[in-house]
Amino acid sequence: MWCRRLACLLSVPCQHTRHHLLGLSCGRRTFTAAVARWHHTAPESLSCAWQLHGDHLELRYANTLMRFDFVWLRDHCRSASCYNAKTNQRSLDTASVDLSIRPKAVRVDETTLFLTWPDGHVTRYGLQWLVKNSYEGQKQQVMHPRILWNAEIYRQAQVPSVDCRSFLETDEGLKEFLQNFLLYGIAFVENVTPTKEDTQILAERISLIRETIYGRMWYFTSDFSRGDTAYTKLALDRHTDTTYFQEPCGIQVFHCLKHEGTGGRTLLVDGFYAAEQVLRQAPDQFELLSKVPLKHEYIENVGDCHNHMIGVGPVLNVYPWNNELYLIRYNNYDRAVINTVPYDVVNRWYTAHRTLTTELRRPENELWVKLKPGKALFIDNWRVLHGREAFTGYRQLCGCYLTRDDVLNTARLLGLQA
């Protein structure tokens, strides 16, 4: 272990100055410094060191330089009086913490940071826990591991479909399916009985069904029974669904029950792969697409269906701490009037949107699949765009939307990172 044990207490007399007198006692000797300086767990070790400032603690460990606000360090205490380990919930009342709190003493050994507060309470943090949960550590971590793909990459991966019986009856089959889904954003289940009822059983294996204005489980034909281009025989360009929801549906399930005719292949495009190309070629355009909020709108007045839905959000949605993309909201059919940014931003947005659209429409990025009875397709609607070619004859699909949180919950319970 490169981080050797040293019991060092630090006395902090001043609350307001950024650089202050430090009292460092080791054994019987006490050293005093006029400015903040680094302290190591052993004099010859530079791998684990810490330093106090006026309002935060700096810690260098595992090649990571971290900064922790004092209130944060008190608020996240995992002691029995501050955190309920049985429920994994905070017990400490955050509003009771003095916003100018400072530790009275600090000690670091090989694995643990110890903080003694003015009231005598002691907080202990594992150094590895701090690396994992610090802002600096999170910047280096990927929330959702993925394999970005174009058509050739996906074909070469030879991602297997999962048999329906294995999917429904074994954790191994379910885990294999979810691993494929998390990595690629799409996954297939074979040998499904081609009925709406059996498709529902399949969907409920991994999630609650999200009921929307389209119901829970729906049949999908070209009878224009809803005020949507999807309910025709026309070709559909690539898009994500329910962009007009404040939170677009997370997962979409398609199962072709019958097709007596030609055409109708399904188009799949990895939106994250296309966005990655934009980030490499024009990072300023990627940033603009992640900053400009847009309205998407669904207005329906067909038969008994009367709806007016509005969702607001940028085309690209990223986690701000590591710039990781987690949601693409792309639907040219349902994008409403652009009136959320001033005129001098609009043209730059159109340029960025054109760059992304060009990537999404590259033929090499298009994966075409023919959905047939018995083969169900699950799509990550926050990542993968879908469309279809025009078709003839009678074509009936069934499907539903799933709640994203429940799918990810199922994956985590099976030991997957999600």
User: CB within 8 A of 395, min separation 6: which ones?
Assistant: 221, 222, 233, 256, 258, 259, 260, 261, 264
Distance CA 266, CA 386 (A): 7
133: how many CB neighbours lie within 10 A of its CB? Answer: 15
pTM: 0.85
The pLDDT score that the predictor gives to residue 225 is 56
Which secondary structure element, helix H or strand E, spans residue 351, and what is its range? helix 343-360
Distance CA 404, CA 385 (A): 16
Is 30 exposed, middle or buried (CB count within 10 Å of its CB: 0-12, 13-18, 19+)? exposed
Q: Per residue of the chain (418 residues), what is the pLDDT tens digit?
A: 333 333 333 334 343 333 333 333 333 223 233 346 677 665 444 578 999 999 999 999 999 999 999 999 999 999 999 999 999 999 999 999 999 999 999 999 989 999 999 999 999 999 999 999 999 999 988 999 999 999 999 999 999 999 999 999 999 999 999 999 999 999 999 999 999 999 999 999 999 999 999 999 998 775 545 455 666 778 899 999 999 999 999 999 999 999 988 888 999 999 999 999 999 999 999 999 999 999 999 999 988 899 999 999 999 999 999 999 999 999 999 999 999 999 999 999 999 999 999 999 999 999 999 999 999 999 999 999 999 999 889 889 999 999 999 999 999 999 999 9
The pLDDT score that the predictor gives to residue 9 is 34
Superfamily of domain 151-413: Clavaminate synthase-like (3.60.130.10)
3-138 and 151-413 in the same fold: no
Give me the chain's average pLDDT, please.
89
What three-state secondary structure class fits 413? helix
Distance CA 156, CA 153 (A): 5
Question: How confident is the model over 200-258, as pLDDT tens digits?
Answer: 999 999 999 999 999 999 987 755 454 556 667 788 999 999 999 999 999 999 999 99
DSSP 312-340: EE-SEEEETTTTEEEEE---TTTB----S
Question: How confident is the model over 196-215, as pLDDT tens digits?
Answer: 999 999 999 999 999 999 99
Q: What are phi and psi of 155, to 5 degrees?
A: -65, -40
DSSP 140-187: TS-SS------HHHHHHHTPPPEEHHHHHH-HHHHHHHHHHHHHHSEE
Q: What are phi and psi of 180, to 5 degrees?
A: -60, -45
Tokens of 94: 């955050």
The pLDDT score that the predictor gives to residue 7 is 35
User: CB within 8 A of 30, min separation 6: which ones?
Assistant: 23, 24
- Does the domain at residues 3-138 carry the CATH identifier 3.30.2020.30? yes
What three-state secondary structure class fits 398? strand
The pLDDT score that the predictor gives to residue 29 is 29
44: how many CB neighbours lie within 10 A of its CB? Answer: 6
Q: Where are the domains of the chain?
A: 3-138, 151-413
